Structure 1
Amino acid sequence: MLKKQFMTNRLKIYLLTLLSFLVGTSQFIIAGVLDKIADSLDITVASAGQLVTVFALASAIGTPILTVLISKYSLKKQLLIAIFIFMVGNFLTPLDLGYEVLIFARAITGLGTILFVVVSYIFASRLAGEGKQGSGMSNIALGFSLSQVAGVPLGRAIANLYDWQMIFYLVGFLVFLGTLVVIFTFKNRHPEKTPSIKKQINILKDKLVLLSLIVTVFVFITFSAITTFITPLIFSIERVDEHEIALIFVILGVASVIGSKVGATIADRVGVNKVLLSTLLIIVFSLIVMNIFSSFLNIFVLMLTIWSATIWMFGPTQGLNLSKMVPSHASILLSLNSSFVQLGFALGAFLGGVCINIFSIQSILNLAVVSTVIALAIYLFTLKKKKVN
């Protein structure tokens, strides 16, 4: 009976992994088809990039509030609420109702996506059982990583065969089928105790915590600026065909999966400080080389791959770093870190668009270097404060 129950729960975790892959595809595919969206709406690539800004900004501000508001419900109801919000935004996204409606749709999708991720992490850890919570949660992260490996290049291929709207219709249909399975097979589980907004804000009074979260923002400004405009950036170097651009997305996706898997594992062995410092230095180095050799596609893609793997190493390691700062408030810190990640996403897409409008598409590489150098400087300062403390 216990074995049967474990298998049932494992299948439920796999379903959550599949759903995280689908909602992740809905988030990341925008960067993969940014040029096609700009063409279909007759807007600039920079304006299309603001779809990423509103997605991230809405989730950064709205998710902590929504998490508190729905915390009184069972985890199953929380999950269904998150999926419903996502479905509304995803349904509106492909409708040809103009740029303003598309902006609104991406904001709604952002709220639903990150809320789904937060609830799924908790649900997966409960389903996995005692001593296997980390394994359950890693599956949700894996689903998101795989959305870059397979979802983005597959979405690009679908957009070439039909149009970019077809991707969102397909994602919506598959999420709907998955939701039916959730409704009929998932049991109601008692919710986690969610800290109030006031309690989440109060922890920011710790200067070391606040500085560490600011490091997160600047790193993800870099991440967002490059990933949002990655397709036009590559086309500015060389007009590669659709098969080559799809292959580049696959390579970057594989690098992201490797990075996200090994980062925290290495940190457990050598310590988070060494891993975070190393990743920031490698990110700066790879960006500088990309700047210098921005006319040579092969070197650029090689450095971009190293950058992708390293920046995905930073994410989970930074989460581990924050959770160890104040262990009694680990859940609050991880929630805040997610919001600061989305804030970085919003700022990166916005500032990237500004740079393109004022200078050129390749100026976002300069933005990325400056942002990462600032992150590195702040991180070195936090290391000094840790030693003093």
Structure 2
Amino acid sequence: MPFAIYVLGLAVFAQGTSEFMLSGLVPAIAADLGVSVPTVGTLTSAFAVGMIVGAPSVAMLSMRWPQRRALLSFLITFLLAHVVGASTSSFGVLLATRVVAALAMAGFLAVGLATAAGIAGPGAKGKATSVLLSGVTLACVAGVPLGAALGGVWGWRAAFWAVAASSAPAVIAILRAVPPTPVDPDAPTARHELRALRSPQLIITLLLGACVNGATFCSFTYLAPVTTEVTGLSTGWLPGILAVFGIGSFVGVNAGGRLADRRPRQVVTIGGTALLAGWLLFALTAANPFAALALVFVQGVLSFTVGSTLISQVLYQAADAPRLSGGFATAAMNVGAAAGPALGGAVLAAGLSYRSPLLVSAALVAAALVIRGVSRALGGSPGRDRSQPQAAHQPR
């Protein structure tokens, strides 16, 4: 992979750290700004909404910008939002910075996916996607725990300053590594790209991605009570368990990168079936610490193998919409990231046990497999793009 793609992954690492780090900072923010814990929780909701709305809309607004200019604009905006957030004493201002940061991250991911796919060349979009998503998984493994540690030692503002500081090297690296390609005057317009996104096959792939990501975030969100209340482990185990899931997700992203360009259909079919079986098995064996720990890793691997493959297939299937395809893929994944935890919370609020989010995850994956099966029976084939280079499906 060209060095520029790894530079984009570095920026995504900083952004992924910001997206998830609030989970360990909520009480400190509430105490410092004089608001309730549920009020601070709206910071997470605001970020999710910003990602969902911002991914396609901001990508559309920046279509006539050169890619490097767009990437730098979004990344610098993201950096400055964290500087303001770290400096403010107003919850309203902090909330606004989270929305701005989410819009900037959404735009960066949309343009970054398109840029990485273009740099990687035909038949390597899966590998390029895996490098960018590795930044998110590394954020789960290292960035989020480090942010929580900084918040515990120097206060929550230190975590925000750290995200801003970690974004700065990426700004410099993008200036040096990403070529300053001008806008092609014959490039597709927004209207043309939107028409290209009407493909039923593409819409189904986006829906599959939302379902799979919803399953992932449903169980990930409630992993702490599952392991403490069902598995019976102490809270001291939680950082290690979350790290195991993060390591599994990193392995899965890289496995998806190796397989998505050659055998996407097999990854979605076999990996999706294994993912469904894994969530069901996890729900049945969650009381066993050894089985639970093993399945946390396995499900991290499978979730991100299948999820990253579906994202890369969106890029293949929407080759006529290079900028907006990344935006809609980002939005679909964030719809899942918002809907999955909401569904898990709903079944818990209904009085069901802490195993129930695992069953919700299984149901979401089962829905994805049913949708895919019905689509194939009706003549579609999500998981493979007919315009994708044939060499991308053949062993090399």
TM-score (norm 1): 0.80
- 1:20 maps to 12
Q: 1:327 to 1:83 in 2, by over 3 A?
A: closer
Measured after TM superposition, the shift of residue 63 of structure 1 is 2.2
One-letter code of the match for 1:202?
R
Structure 2 residues without counterparts, runs of 5 or longer = 387-396
Alpha-carbon separation, structure 2, partners of 1:264 and 1:13: 13
Matched, 1:84 2:102: no
The within-5 A match list for 1:112-151 is 112-124=104-116, 138-151=130-143
Matched, 1:318 2:310: yes
The within-5 A match list for 1:1-389 is 10=3, 13-31=5-23, 42-44=36-38, 51-91=43-83, 93-94=85-86, 102-124=94-116, 138-180=130-172, 182=174, 188-191=180-183, 195-237=188-230, 238=232, 240-242=234-236, 244-269=237-262, 271-325=263-317, 327-329=319-321, 332-359=324-351, 362=354, 363-386=356-379
Q: 1:356 to 1:191 in 2, by over 3 A?
A: farther
Q: Does structure 2 conserve the Cα–Cα contact (< 8 Å) formed by 1:34 and 1:231?
A: no
Measured after TM superposition, the shift of residue 332 of structure 1 is 4.7
> SS of the residue aligned with 2:379?
helix
Q: 1:62 to 1:138 in 2, by over 3 A?
A: same
Alpha-carbon separation, structure 2, partners of 1:185 and 1:128: 14
Measured after TM superposition, the shift of residue 251 of structure 1 is 1.7
Matched length? 377
> SS of the residue aligned with 2:378?
helix
Structure 1 residues without counterparts, runs of 5 or longer = 1-5
One-letter code of the match for 1:372?
V
One-letter code of the match for 2:234?
V
> SS of the residue aligned with 2:37?
coil
Alpha-carbon separation, structure 2, partners of 1:350 and 1:101: 26
Q: Could you give the per-residue CA deviations for residues 248-285 of structure 1, whole angstroms, max 9, x where no partner exists? A: 2222122112111112433455x322221122212221
Q: Could you give the per-residue CA deviations for residues 309-357 of structure 1, whole angstroms, max 9, x where no partner exists? A: 0010112221344445465556654442222112212222333444444
TM-score (norm 2): 0.79
> SS of the residue aligned with 1:82?
helix
Cα RMSD between the aligned structures?
3.7
Q: Does structure 2 conserve the Cα–Cα contact (< 8 Å) formed by 1:153 and 1:247?
A: no
Alpha-carbon separation, structure 2, partners of 1:76 and 1:105: 23
One-letter code of the match for 1:68?
M
Measured after TM superposition, the shift of residue 378 of structure 1 is 0.7
One-letter code of the match for 1:309?
V
User: Is the deviation greater in 192-201 or in 125-134?
Assistant: 125-134
One-letter code of the match for 2:153?
L
> SS of the residue aligned with 1:386?
coil
Q: 1:108 to 1:360 in 2, by over 3 A?
A: farther
Alpha-carbon separation, structure 1, partners of 2:126 and 2:47: 28
